[in-house]
Structure 1
Amino acid sequence: MTNKVALITGSSRGIGKQTAIRLAKAGYDIVINYARSKSAALEVVEEIESLGRKALLIKANVGDVKKIKAMFETIDETFGRLDILVNNAASGVQKPIVELEENHWDWTMGINGKGALFCAKEAAKLMEKSGGGQIVNISSLGSIRYLENYTAVGVSKAALEALTRYLAVEFAPMNIRVNAVSGGAVDTDALKHFPNREELLKEAAASTPAGRMVEIDDMVNTIMFLLSEDASMIRGQTIIVDGGISLLV
């Protein structure tokens, strides 16, 4: 019997890492994708293999379509199928609008928008061969509200949420479900790149109606729900996991 396979982009740390581990515990073989930190990615591979699951490690910058195609060719050669794609990899330049350059914009949109599109396109080819699958895209609150220095990333995440809706409709005949999860401030390694990180964390801790900040497990729990059959009629939606902070004016 062929085990089901899940690819989580940007899975060497943070939300991607924990999603990969949870899916391995659920019985999936895992494709770990990373762009820079090989040592961290290898640690995730070891943890997945300790759970008795197979782990395939692939270095690929998802902003490069050629590398995306090569990654999916490797997945096809190794496993011959793909059942889950979590588009978690993200990057971006965080500067005020007046300081943004063309290359900042292109880099951010290339990874967060274009990368997700072409990963989904290649994933759908493999999913269709085995009868369908699920795709979850990871967004953030900057897609719907203003965050300081977040223009390029926020707009790219808004594009990702729009892409989620289009993918959900066009992939439905292939039995592929597509949704997104948008998170409030989560204290991951990615947040360390925010110039105003401490201010964001302080505001989130003090202002979140739920009484605490969002944690990685809150995000992973929602991802796992959307990947389950319990969510089979949820299509093209962005589920916001923020403890209610986006409801405040």
Structure 2
Amino acid sequence: MTEDKVAMVTGSSRGLGKALAIELAKNGYDIVVNYARSKSAAEETVKEIEALGRKAIMLRANVGDVKKLRAMFEQVKEEFGRLDVFVSNAASGVLRPIMELEESHWDWTMNINAKAMLFGAQEAAKLMDNGGKIIGVSSLGSIRYLENYTTIGVSKAAIESLTRYLAVEFAPKGISVNSVSGGALDTDALKHFPNREELLDDARKNTPAGRMVEIEDMVKTAMFLISDDSNMICGQTIIVDGGRSIVM
């Protein structure tokens, strides 16, 4: 079994997850590419990683299903025998006003966004005998109101709370747990927002730093948290929004 470092990024066939997976590969990690729907997109991610000289395997799983999530980690154990980085990035959600939400909407969103981080972290920790890094991905909807964002916002708040609890219990194992929270990112996910243009316009006009947050900004912050330079950062959610969340 290889002793090269191994990273798993859930939802890594596109967007932020893909960008993180490729950056990790550039930094010497073999990559577990997880996807739920688009096999062709995941295959493209694998090709780009392999072109960098790193190994990549592609595993399909709805991370909100704990049985499938655990089976995926079993495959990682068989293939690599270890895990050094786990990024719980996969996300989904139902965008509706509160009075239109149904129980299934709540369960779907909480399972994929929050439950997957808890049980994914459990499984990841079992493969981190020499310590490791676990990263969650949140958003500003965890701390402020965004229209139609109830289920997602609450699930992201759960991620930030989980980050603190996981960090305390995993620190003695040499495992650091932190999260990265971003402002509005112009990704495929944002296309599902009925008020997408309003959110983007707000980010362009009202971000003190003078520009929107880019995927690269999130990747750089996550990579810092994954690096040894951040070893004493524990249980924190780092907001990457150019200052948007601290102004009216």
The TM-score, its normalising length taken from structure 1, stands at 0.98
In structure 1, the partner of 2:60 is 59
Name the SS for the 2:34 alignment partner. Answer: strand
In structure 2, the partner of 1:189 is 188
1:168 matches 2:182: no
Q: How does 1:222-237 map to 2 (within 5 A)?
A: 222-237=221-236
Q: Encode CA deviations 1:35-74: one digit per residue, 9 max, x unaligned.
A: 0011001000000000110001000000000001100000
In structure 2, the partner of 1:91 is 92
Question: Percent of aligned positions with the same letter in both sequences?
Answer: 72
Q: How does 1:29-178 map to 2 (within 5 A)?
A: 29-128=30-129, 131-178=130-177
Q: Encode CA deviations 1:143-198: one digit per residue, 9 max, x unaligned.
A: 00000000000000001100000000000111000000000000011111111111
TM superposition shift of 1:2 = 1.3
Name the SS for the 1:136 alignment partner. Answer: strand
In structure 2, the partner of 1:198 is 197
TM superposition shift of 1:248 = 1.1
Name the SS for the 1:210 alignment partner. Answer: coil
Name the SS for the 2:170 alignment partner. Answer: helix
What is the rounded CA distance, in whole Å, between the counterparts of 2:234 and 2:194 in structure 1? 35
What is the rounded CA distance, in whole Å, between the counterparts of 2:201 and 2:18 in structure 1? 25
In structure 2, the partner of 1:25 is 26
Name the SS for the 1:98 alignment partner. Answer: helix
In structure 2, the partner of 1:4 is 5
In structure 2, the partner of 1:216 is 215
**Match of 1:245, as an amino acid?**
R
What is the rounded CA distance, in whole Å, between the counterparts of 1:11 and 1:189 in structure 2? 13
Unaligned runs of 5+ in 1: none
What is the rounded CA distance, in whole Å, between the counterparts of 1:67 and 1:207 in structure 2? 42
TM superposition shift of 1:103 = 0.3
- Structure 1 moving runs of 4+ over 3 Å: none
Q: Encode CA deviations 1:12-43: one digit per residue, 9 max, x unaligned.
A: 00110010000000000000000001100100
The TM-score, its normalising length taken from structure 2, stands at 0.99
TM superposition shift of 1:138 = 0.4
What is the rounded CA distance, in whole Å, between the counterparts of 2:80 and 2:8 in structure 1? 11
1:15 matches 2:16: yes
What is the rounded CA distance, in whole Å, between the counterparts of 2:223 and 2:58 in structure 1? 22
Name the SS for the 2:123 alignment partner. Answer: helix
Unaligned runs of 5+ in 2: none
Superposed CA RMSD: 0.6
TM superposition shift of 1:204 = 0.6
TM superposition shift of 1:91 = 0.4
